[in-house]
Amino acid sequence: MALHELSAAEAARRIAAGTLTAEALMQACLERTKARESAVQAWAWLDPEQALAAARSADLAAPRGPLHGIPVALKDVIDTADMPTENGTPLHAGRQPAQDAEVTEQLRAGGAVVMGKTVTTELATYLPGKTRNPWNPAHTPGGSSSGSAAAVAAGMVPLAVGTQVTGSVIRPAAFCGVVGFKPSLGLISRSGVLAQSDLLNHMGGFARSVEDVALLTDAIGGFDAADVASFPRGPGRLHLTAMSEPPRVPRFAFVRTPFWNRSDAETRAALEAVAGLPGVIADEVDLPDDFAAAMDHHKTLCEADIAWNFRFLSSEERTKVSQRLQTVIASGESHTAVSYHAAAAARDRYIGYLATLFDRYDALLTPAAIGIAPASLDSTGDPLFCGTWTLCGTPALTLPTREPKSGMPLGMQLIAGPRDDARLLRTGRWLESRIAASDRRPAFG
């Protein structure tokens, strides 16, 4: 196996054992990037010499954490004191933060090597960047964490960090055929990250296995008093739990959601096939009719919060962003306090109902996207099957399967209760092994 194909966990084990150096691993990732970047265009900023120098420094340092020496890519909305953070807009071209974001600090404190910055959509909203889908460059990679998902899928880097306000981790992970994990709201600090919504802004990660994304989340999770959503918790044990055997066979609630008929036939067939795998226990569960309005409520909160958080844009600057973003900001400014509070109240109702399901089931099984990545570069795809769970702040995990006809990746999504991230990862790893055994997982590369 080529070095760039190693899982983060295996590479970390070899580095710890002295049979692999961080420099050699970084060199392999850079060579893979050189071979694939012209087609994929995942990187917003990458300096190979700086990346190699950081890897050499890791080789000289005492081991500091489970990801010591492992390359990690950061979405270009996450501040880095030694690299530009341009937020996907020419308005911030050349922007150089004075200090690292909290997640950047956490990674570096644990010995990980920040390889570079990956492409985001405009201000992490809707206008696509330059990135292409590694499986077929005529297809979107999804968004807004476009470059993070594509870089991992193309083998350029084993781990990447992204953000999600609607479906910006789960959807690109599904489209690019990698594991995407959006933890519970507040598990990972958002300090030093482009702000869009206190209620909806989530951090998340990309990897090629559940084990790897658990390692990444342990490395960057933790309490931060500067983040209003952050909550106290003990030292990271997500990886330990994820790698343990469930005490019993997990039970899944197969939730089609009110939007099931808007998914394509291949998505429906793939999800039903996974629900029918040997040993999988999945009961069909319908959500109350009230959930049909979830995306409308999400839209109200998201637009209003974006309008508030993007007030830093001057009148002149607002004319220079995309027409779509101008429309979102104007719509957000038109929402009333009453409509905002009604949406927040609906959110509370949804969370309360879901709690009754999680008393009976280890996870909900639902689509991650309408279908495979659309054959278009003009949009990043529809986040219809992601927004409800982002609204509720629940952890979400997407596992890659594939569409037999085209061979393109499809994503299936698992949902657990708020702050039940460890059990979700354990359940996901259990199901991941069944999908791999069924030969429904897309081949790497």
Rounded to whole angstroms, the Cα distance separating 200 from 38 reads 34
Annotation: CATH topology of 3-287+349-437: Amidase signature (AS) enzymes (3.90.1300)
pLDDT at residue 392, rounded to an integer: 98
- Across all residues in the chain, what is the average pLDDT? 97
For the chain, the structural domain boundaries read 3-287+349-437
Q: Which residues are catalytic?
A: 75, 144, 168
pLDDT at residue 123, rounded to an integer: 98
**84 C-beta neighbours (distance < 10 Å), count:** 17
Question: What DSSP character marks residue 37?
Answer: H
pLDDT at residue 444, rounded to an integer: 63
SS3 state of residue 95: coil
- CA distance to 91, 196, 232, 286, per residue, from 308 (Å): 18, 8, 27, 35
Rounded to whole angstroms, the Cα distance separating 333 from 310 reads 11
What residues contact 172, with CB distance under 8 A and at least 6 apart? Answer: 141, 142, 143, 145, 146, 148, 149, 150, 162, 180, 206, 380
Least Cα distance to 213 among 193, 196, 188 occurs for 188
250-277 burial, b for 16+ CB within 10 Å, e for fewer?
Answer: bebbbbbbbbeeebeebbeebbeebbee
Question: How many residues are listed for the chain in this entry?
Answer: 445
pLDDT at residue 139, rounded to an integer: 98
pLDDT at residue 443, rounded to an integer: 72
Percent pLDDT > 90 in the chain is: 96
Written as six digits, the tokens of 8 are 């983060």
Written as six digits, the tokens of 331 are 């719509």
What residues contact 327, with CB distance under 8 A and at least 6 apart? Answer: none
What residues contact 203, with CB distance under 8 A and at least 6 apart? Answer: 103, 161, 162, 163, 164, 182, 183, 187, 188, 189, 190, 193, 220
- Are 186 and 231 spatial neighbours (Cβ–Cβ below 8 Å)? yes
Phi-psi label, residue 242: left if phi above 0, alpha if psi -120 to 50, beta otherwise: alpha
Helix (H) or strand (E) holding 366: strand 363-367
Angle 343-360-293 from CA coordinates, rounded to 5°: 20
Question: What is the per-residue DSSP string for 61-79?
Answer: SPP-STTTT-EEEEETTB-
Parts of the chain with a pLDDT under 50 = none
- The reported pTM is 0.98
Instruction: Name residue, tokens 């997982």.
Output: 441
Helix-, strand-, coil-residue percentages of the chain, each rounded to 5: 40, 15, 45
Rounded to whole angstroms, the Cα distance separating 178 from 206 reads 7
Rounded to whole angstroms, the Cα distance separating 288 from 362 reads 19
